[in-house]
Amino acid sequence: MTAPSDASFEPVRDTLGRPLRNLRLSVTDRCNLRCSYCMPEPDYVWLPRSELLTFEELARVVRIFSSLGVDRVRLTGGEPLLRQELPELVRRVAAGPGLRDLALTTNGVLLEALARPLREAGLTRVTVSLDTLRPDRFQALTRRDEHARVLAGIAAVRELGWPGLKLDTVVLRGRNDDELLSLLAFAKEQGAELRFIEYMDVGGATRWRREDVVSRAEMLERISAEHGAVEPLHEEGLPGGVRGRAPAERFRLSDGTTFGIIASTTAPFCRTCDRSRVTADGTWFLCLYARAGLNLRQALRGGASDETIAQLVRLGWKGRTDRGAEQRLALQHREPLADVAELREDPRLEMHTRGG
């Protein structure tokens, strides 16, 4: 296989010319929280354990995707820190060729003890999800009393002097939207960059309602009411003023604080989307909103060579037309993508299976 570092290397492109660059790799569908926008139900159907990819298989998947141009990988879940021996997986993935960035998205509950081993294993960046600074609210939002442990996890990353810490906040009207400013101040104190995420109607968000979404425009209005002008940062711009490929648009306050907004609901970024997802059982999804994915586990376990699997992925990406969030935006009446019965029928539709 040609290595991405070769001068002759051409990344595979989809029907809209988008290269395959980013991979979100889910390492488990289990979670130790029950966030109301992701896992609101009393119980769940889990992926069969025998179908979860082994570390060897996960590292092989990354190697194959790297050979096609993927140079940024994010480990996610469910809660990725629930996967036993995660630092060992990080070590194996980081040892592969061609990766520029190996990041992790976590709810932070188990991070305090794992921060150092993960960093030593070669993880480059950590993003911690934090929706509130109030323990009582945390309990109401996640149905678990774990706020103190999340804060301890964030502190552990800071104490290591680990650069690139991000905090992700899903903004929900009437639940935590009065904390935009205090969360910004907290992130600044921690040396982290905060990213506000619009509430999305995907996966387990079965209680999603349009009126609960706080839009990017409204967030900016509220922040500038306190901080004055908010300066947009134009980075990684593409010709013609098209936004770069990072999902978050970044902004700067007059005191120099930077933050991001991921406006997938009201201003999606499908035109530049270079990411795909592999679930913990090896199903490859071309879009967060896709109804179906390609079963790579069968190929991985059925004796296919790396080149054969790479060819499957190459062909899949070349035919990609997905613009899920943009299509949702065009709908007149918008309600959750899937209902509870559909999610029970196919847990791969869940956000906690796809990795967000």
Smallest Cα–Cα separation from 29: which of 48, 50, 16, 15? 48
Q: How far is the CB of 238 from ligand SF4 (least distance, A)?
A: 15
Q: Is 129 helix (H, G, I), strand (E, B) or coil?
A: strand
For residue 211, with 0-12 CB atoms within 10 Å meaning exposed, 13-18 middle and 19 or more buried, which class applies?
A: exposed
Least gap, CB of 13 to ligand SAM (angstroms): 27
Residue at 277: amino acid letter = R
Among 322, 336, 343, 347, binds ligand SF4 (CB under 6 A): 322
The one of ligand SF4, ligand SAM, none whose footprint includes residue 268, by CB under 5 to 8 A per kind, is ligand SF4
- Considering beta carbons, is residue 67 or 107 the nearer one to ligand SAM? 107
Please name the residue that has the structure tokens 């301890």. Answer: 152
d(CA 200, CA 185): 25
Q: How far is the CB of 130 from ligand SAM (least distance, A)?
A: 9
Residue 273 interface partner, choices ligand SAM, ligand SF4, none, CB cut-off 5-8 Å depending on type: ligand SF4
- Tell me the CB-side half-sphere exposure of residue 310, using CA atoms within 13 A: 18
Does 352 sit near ligand SF4 (CB under 6 A)?
Answer: yes
Alpha-carbon distances, residue 172 vs 113, 186, 206, 210, 256 (angstroms): 30, 18, 14, 11, 26
For ligand SF4, the closer of residues 78 and 153 by Cβ is 78
| The binder of ligand SF4 chosen from 14, 71, 79, 198 (CB under 6 A) | 79
Among 69, 78, 153, 347, binds ligand SF4 (CB under 6 A): 78
From the CB of 104, what's the least distance to ligand SAM, in Å? 9
Q: What is the DSSP string of 186-247?
A: HHHHHT-EEEEEE----TT-TT--GGGB--HHHHHHHHHHHH---EEE--S-BGGGB--S-S
Q: How far apart are CA 113 and CA 99, in angstroms?
A: 25
- If residue 259 lies in a helix (H) or strand (E), which one and from where to where? strand 258-262
Stretch 199-238 residues interacting with ligand SF4 (CB under 6 A): none
Q: Which of 20, 64, 70, 273 binds ligand SF4 (CB under 6 A)?
A: 273
Q: Among 168, 169, 151, which residue's Cα sits nearest to residue 115?
A: 151
Q: What is the 3-state composition of the chain as percent helix, strand, coil, each rounded to the nearest 5?
A: 35, 15, 45
Q: Report, in Å, the least distance between residue 215 CB and ligand SAM.
A: 13
Out of ligand SAM, ligand SF4, none, what residue 206 binds, judged by CB under 5 to 8 A for its kind, is none
Residue ranges binding ligand SAM (CB under 6 A): 31, 37-38, 76-77, 79, 105-107, 129, 168, 170, 197, 199-200, 205, 351-352, 355-356
Distance in Å, CB of 282 to ligand SF4, minimum: 19
Rounded Cα gap, residues 167 and 186, in angstroms: 10
Q: Which of ligand SF4, ligand SAM, none has residue 287 at its interface (CB below 5 to 8 Å by kind)?
A: ligand SF4
Closer to ligand SAM by CB, 202 or 310: give it.
202
Residues contributing to the site for ligand SF4 (CB under 6 A): 31, 33-35, 38-39, 77-79, 107, 129, 268-270, 273, 287-289, 322-325, 352
